[in-house]
Amino acid sequence: ILNVEQSPQSLHVQEGDSTNFTCSFPSSNFYALHWYRWETAKSPEALFVMTLNGDEKKKGRISATLNTKEGYSYLYIKGSQPEDSATYLCAFLTNFGNEKLTFGTGTRLTIIP
Amino acid sequence: EAQVTQNPRYLITVTGKKLTVTCSQNMNHEYMSWYRQDPGLGLRQIYYSMNVEVTDKGDVPEGYKVSRKEKRNFPLILESPSPNQTSLYFCASSSGDRGPLLSYNEQFFGPGTRLTVL
């Protein structure tokens, strides 16, 4: 089983501040990295699918970068709002010829009004 | 409305009593998958299917069965549930619109099924 690690496990951020967190994955056999946002009592929702080294994706105030050579991705949230409170999950896909996603345990973000 | 549905949403059952959790998607997606979520462990994949009649094991398949007879449905079967299968279960689907399945396409998750096995 592949190891996908997310840090920190939890984070409290003042409303209006910017923040970022990390997803680390095996740098060999990389195929794709997914980011999902999971609000309490709801289902995970996709943010980004990233495939290329150096890739940068943006959706509103949320952006992500990818470094496949060193095996990490950063998720950034600019000007945090209360509705950003959620658990952010990353998931790693290898090129082993299957379609198995391995998820990290997530970063739980709480925005303090 | 494009969606993934699961039934039931909540289920309390007893050890050994066979059960099925249904999953259906109306987006004509090729890929479907089942996950379980346990505290501190993250989402773990149980089984997945890349198309009709094509299924494969995920990381934690023991004690579960699946079938994919139609593109829209992907039921999860617990033949003899045990207390360690108490968990929150999610079904998800994905298309191949932008390229090979999960390499380029995000997953859409169902609402979840909270299962308790006594």
Is A71 in the B-facing interface, judged by CB distances under 8 Å?
no
Residues A21-41, mean pLDDT to the nearest whole number:
92
Q: Are strands B10-13 and B113-117 parallel, antiparallel or unpaired?
A: parallel
Residue among B21, B30, B22, B24 nearest B3 (CA): B24
Is A23 in the B-facing interface, judged by CB distances under 8 Å?
no
CA distance A99 to chain B (A): 6
pLDDT of residue B84: 96
What is the number of residues in chain A?
A: 113
CB contact under 8 A, B112 and A51: no
Contact A101, B45 (CB under 8 A): yes
Is B104 a residue whose pLDDT tops 90?
A: no
| SS3 assignment, position B17 | coil
- pLDDT, tens digit (0-9, with 9 covering 90-100), for B29-66: 999 999 999 988 889 999 999 889 999 999 999 999 99
Share of chain B above pLDDT 70, in %: 96
Q: How confident is the model at residue B100 (pLDDT cuts 50, 70, 90)?
A: low
Token pair 């009709």 is at which residue?
B52
Chain B residue at shortest CA distance from A94: B103
pLDDT of residue B97: 67
Residues B93-105, mean pLDDT to the nearest whole number:
75
Is B58 in the A-facing interface, judged by CB distances under 8 Å?
yes
